[in-house]
Chains A and B, each alone.
Chain A
Amino acid sequence: MSIEAINEQLLRAIGVGVALLDAKDLSFRFQNDTFVEWFNPQEDQDTLPKLLPEFDAEALRKELEASKRFTAEVSFRKKRRSMIFAADFTLTSEQEGNFIVLVCQNISRIREMESMIDSYSMMVERNTREIKREKEQVEKLLLNMMPRSVYEEFKTFGVVTPKLYDPVSVLMLDFVGFTEMAASADPSVTVSELNDIYSAFDRIGEQFGCERIKTIGDAYITVAGLPDPTPDHCRAVANTAVRFLRYLERRNQGHPNQWRCRIGIASGPVVGSVVGIQKYVYDIFGPAVNLASRLQECSEAMEITTNAVVKENLNEQFMIEGRGMRKIRGFEDQEIFRIMDSRKGVL
């Protein structure tokens, strides 16, 4: 076999489509096997414009005149399949005249892959956005259950080490006659009102740097001095307690349901930690919690009760009244005090 014959064989069998065009009328002079297989030219499609009616022949001529080369992406519909080719045209001058060598690469699969990657990345991006949104919701929920610094620890290490906070002030609030109220009135109304009140308490507490720890039914517990130490934790909690009462008084004036509470305030050390493995609860433990609860029991409706330790730390901003010695279950007998709103009657 001669070299020429081998060359022609190669040219015919090569995996790119090759055609030779007459530069004058763009008629085909040669098409290799791959070209024929791809474009399947019919008898009457003997020129490039006839084979590819959408092809911009004018642009081809102009560009070839200017630079002897032209590249374009050509799409061709074979049966129902869109085929896309990268077409490369080169002008050559031979003795017989000017010819254009057309070399086509089938880039359909590349374009299909690109479309698929676009489609897939859009799905993934949408999913990522959804996951992010869900994560934010979970984070929000967890931040409602524990202080941010505790949450950060939990997120990083998967566990929370119990931590001693000393000193802090604990405010314990309980509603008078809640059980009867929940039983007599429409329970859903009662709970929805309780929700409003707790939300208001949260906002008030936040203003004074208190961290709500939990609510158990009609009991509400908030703390100052945790997770970051606060020098005036007693004052923060007393201020919060006074505003809780003010809020309830004002609310009661315009509502048929009367909400009346008792408050106890105590200072001391507490340990804060996440409790539980399946159901996480951030909680605090310690004598200050128990004492606040006992002192709250000493209050009458709409009263705030505390002991000497807290009283010493409160300034003249508060009106404080001694209530004498009391037996406190689980603690030494001690003098208790009532904290009153110094702005009483001003509102």
Chain B
Amino acid sequence: MATQTLFEKYGGFSAVSRVVLDFYDRLLDSDEIGPFFDNTDMSKLVDHQTKFIASLLGGPSSYTDEQLKQLHTHLDIKDPHMDEMKSVLAGTLTDHGFSGEDTEVVMNELEARRAMIVG
């Protein structure tokens, strides 16, 4: 039998949607990574965050490495930006009741994609 994904464990879309919107808020409020979204259309950004969180948690989406690379290639993202993003996400997940262990799993997933995002 397939093991339960984090997406399912933490209550599916109804719960994850709150994580997505909170994460979206925190990203925009962050002065370190917020500027990357200065000219991004709201619906595009929400769409991206929804897919991003869903794919990290094993929900019904998946960004291929190619897609991730393509999405970030025009942005001048450096390692500190990526670190800040990770810490914002970790904070969001913790505040939404994710266990330390599960947050760690998500962080590892994210770390595995660093090369696609930082360029």
* Residues of A that sit less than 8 Å from B by CB: 79-82, 84, 108-109, 111-113, 115-116, 118-120, 123-124, 126-127
**A119 contacts which of B35, B37, B40, B46 (Cβ < 8 Å)?**
B46
- Which B residues touch A109, using CB under 8 A? 21
Given contacts A80-B37, A112-B42, A116-B20, contact A127 B47 (CB under 8 A): no
Q: Give the contacts of B15-43 with A (CB-CB under 8 A).
A: 17, 20-21, 24, 28, 34-35, 37-38, 40-43
Q: In whole angstroms, how far apart are the Cα atoms of A116 and B43 in the complex?
A: 8
Ranked nearest first, the 3 interchain pairs of A and B with the lowest CB-CB distance are A82-B42, A115-B43, A115-B46
- Which B residues touch A119, using CB under 8 A? 46-47, 50-51
- Which B residues touch A120, using CB under 8 A? 13, 17, 50, 54, 60
A-B contact pairs, 6 of them (CB 8 A): A82-B42, A115-B47, A119-B46, A120-B17, A120-B54, A123-B50
**B42 contacts which of A111, A124, A126, A127 (Cβ < 8 Å)?**
A111
Given contacts A123-B60, A123-B61, contact A116 B21 (CB under 8 A): yes
Q: In whole angstroms, how far apart are the Cα atoms of A73 and B27 in the complex?
A: 25
Question: What distance in Å separates the Cβ of B15 from its nearest Cβ neighbour in chain A?
Answer: 13
- Give me 20 other A-B pairs in contact (C-beta within 8 A), A80-B28, A112-B46 excluded: A79-B28, A79-B34, A80-B37, A80-B40, A81-B42, A82-B41, A108-B42, A109-B21, A111-B43, A113-B17, A115-B43, A115-B47, A116-B21, A116-B47, A119-B50, A119-B51, A123-B50, A123-B51, A123-B54, A123-B61
Question: What distance in Å separates the Cβ of A101 from its nearest Cβ neighbour in chain B?
Answer: 28
Number of A-B contacts (CB under 8 A): 55
Q: In whole angstroms, how far apart are the Cα atoms of A82 and B59 in the complex?
A: 27
Contact (Cβ within 8 A) B21 A113: yes
Give the nearest-CB partner of A82 in chain B.
B42
* Contact code string B84-106 (vs A, CB < 8 Å = 1, else 0): 00000000000000000000000
Q: In whole angstroms, how far apart are the Cα atoms of A112 and B17 in the complex?
A: 11
- Which B residues touch A126, using CB under 8 A? 60
Question: What distance in Å separates the Cβ of A138 from its nearest Cβ neighbour in chain B?
Answer: 16
Q: In whole angstroms, how far apart are the Cα atoms of A185 and B13 in the complex?
A: 58
Question: What distance in Å separates the Cβ of A45 from its nearest Cβ neighbour in chain B?
Answer: 21
**B28 contacts which of A81, A118, A123 (Cβ < 8 Å)?**
A81
Give the nearest-CB partner of B54 in chain A.
A123
Q: In whole angstroms, how far apart are the Cα atoms of A79 and B27 in the complex?
A: 13
Contact (Cβ within 8 A) A112 B24: yes
Contact (Cβ within 8 A) A80 B60: no
- Which A residues touch B54, using CB under 8 A? 120, 123
Question: What distance in Å separates the Cβ of A110 from its nearest Cβ neighbour in chain B?
Answer: 11
Contact (Cβ within 8 A) B47 A118: yes
Question: What distance in Å separates the Cβ of B88 from its nearest Cβ neighbour in chain A?
Answer: 15
Q: In whole angstroms, how far apart are the Cα atoms of A103 and B24 in the complex?
A: 27
Given contacts A80-B38, A123-B54, contact A116 B60 (CB under 8 A): no
Q: In whole angstroms, how far apart are the Cα atoms of A81 and B21 in the complex?
A: 13
Question: What distance in Å separates the Cβ of B93 from its nearest Cβ neighbour in chain A?
Answer: 17
Q: In whole angstroms, how far apart are the Cα atoms of A124 and B60 in the complex?
A: 6
